[in-house]
Amino acid sequence: MIQYKGVTTNITDHVVGLVTRNPIARLRANKVYVTEQPSYLATGFAGLITPEYSKKTQLLPHIQATVYTIDKLAEGDCVLLDKDGMITVVWEASAKMNPLLLTEKCDCRCTMCPQPPKSHDSALTANSQRILEIIKPNDSQTICITGGEPTLLKNEFFNILKTIRTRHTKSQVMLLTNGKSFSDFEFTKQFVTLRPSNFISCVSLHSDVDEVHDKIVGVKNSFYRTIKGLHNLARFHEKIEIRVVISRLNAQHLESIASFIYRNFPFIAHCAFMGMEITGLASENYDEIWIDPYDYRDQLSKAIRVLSRADIKVSVYNLPLCLIEKKTWGFARQSISGWKKEYVPKCEDCSVKKMCSGVFSTSGLNQSRHICPQ
């Protein structure tokens, strides 16, 4: 999520509100007023962001921010103001997909996880509920429920599903999950009765071999629980996507993973092969998991061929076009979040730059040596 740093006044707890530049906006208790010229009209807002402190608005929760920050905040964005002066854009009005981080708690510890597990902070769920109460997604935007592992929250997770189903009936919704909670049939049954209508469960599966998958996710018996979860979801005819994050531990077996998927899960709606984001645990485990995507491009092409021939929709996420074979370009998607998406200097003259996913800015200098203009 995009973050900016400022100086706070009158903020003792989280403030969540929609960005507005209208000093006489309606429903202002749900709005954060952003302006370079504060006035006495700026009353009743949830918060205020200005470049300078003003006695005219001294009672409002307030963050002083740079003009650069103010210019970056768009009308309709949802922001979270924290007492440490951090402004976090938790919903981008122009983004095709926005994540709702429900928890950082997880029952896996994946070697390539960009966001290491932490104890659950109930403020994350409360903030997500508040965001859902005030945002106004358009029909083309997707709400992405993520973590950690959101399903571990059980009732809190179900309450989030109810809120979306009630308030955002037309929204597309996706859940990022390791799928293990769905190995419990009763949990799956309750989930199916509560989830919104336009919903897809995106389940991580990183190998066709139990020991390899469990090594990647860091917890024994995860493979069998995920497999059972996938089949329980299928029993209710749920829409499912399988996600395979590619690392050194599975890169040379992508074709066999694809064969395993089409033979055992022919009911899935989509399969995604995903390049790594080298931050968090992925950065800590770099020597064990890093492989240049250029070095597995042939295996990736074979895996795509297996699934496409089986009439299973398949995509490539997070990999620049120059690192995959040209015959697979049609399967590549611009999948990296806008605030993380970047191009290295040598991409400047690339003829397919507009089509390309770019690279993760969060990966820093950990980029392929084979990136080159096409």
Confirm if 250 and 206 have CB atoms less than 8 A apart.
Answer: yes
Rounded-to-integer distance, Cα 160 and Cα 166, Å: 10
Confirm if 106 and 21 have CB atoms less than 8 A apart.
Answer: no
What pLDDT was estimated at residue 12? 87
Rounded-to-integer distance, Cα 155 and Cα 140, Å: 28
What pLDDT was estimated at residue 10? 86
What pLDDT was estimated at residue 56? 62
pLDDT tens per residue, range 164-175: 999 999 999 999
pLDDT tens per residue, range 179-213: 999 999 999 999 999 999 999 999 999 999 999 99
Q: What angle, rounded to 10 degrees, do the helices at 297-309 and 254-264 form?
A: 20
CB count within 10 Å of CB 239 equals 15
Rounded-to-integer distance, Cα 245 and Cα 284, Å: 17
Residue 261 has which token pair?
């998927």
What pLDDT was estimated at residue 41? 75
Could you read off the pLDDT tens digit of each residue along the chain, which spans 374 residues? Answer: 899 999 988 888 889 999 999 988 889 999 999 998 877 777 889 999 999 876 666 678 999 999 999 999 999 999 999 999 999 999 999 999 999 999 999 999 999 999 999 999 999 999 999 999 999 888 889 999 999 999 999 999 999 999 999 999 999 999 999 999 999 999 999 999 999 999 999 999 999 999 999 999 999 999 999 999 999 999 999 999 999 999 999 999 999 999 999 999 999 999 999 999 999 999 999 999 999 999 999 999 999 999 999 999 999 999 999 999 999 999 999 988 888 899 999 899 899 999 999 999 999 889 999 999 99
What pLDDT was estimated at residue 215? 98
Q: Domain 97-363, CATH 3.40.50.720 — does that match? A: no
Q: Which residue shows structure tokens 């989280």?
A: 14
Distances (CA, A) of 25 to 31, 32, 33: 8, 10, 9
Torsion angles phi and psi, residue 7, rounded to 5: -120, 130
Going by C-alpha positions, the residue among 278, 270, 319 that lies closest to residue 299 is: 319
DSSP letters of 31-60?
Answer: EEEE-SS--TT--S-SEEEESS--GGGTTS
- pTM across the whole model: 0.94
What pLDDT was estimated at residue 92? 94
Q: How far is CA 141 from the centre of its chain?
A: 13
Starting at the edge strand that comes first in sequence, how are the strands of the sheet with 240-245 ordered?
Answer: 97-101, 142-146, 172-177, 199-204, 240-245, 270-274, 314-317
Domain spans of the chain? 2-91, 97-363
Q: Domain 2-91, CATH 3.30.70.260 — does that match? A: no
Confirm if 82 and 69 have CB atoms less than 8 A apart.
Answer: no
Rounded-to-integer distance, Cα 115 and Cα 250, Å: 20
Confirm if 225 and 183 have CB atoms less than 8 A apart.
Answer: yes
Confirm if 360 and 278 have CB atoms less than 8 A apart.
Answer: yes
Q: How far is CA 350 from the centre of its chain?
A: 27
Rounded-to-integer distance, Cα 150 and Cα 192, Å: 15
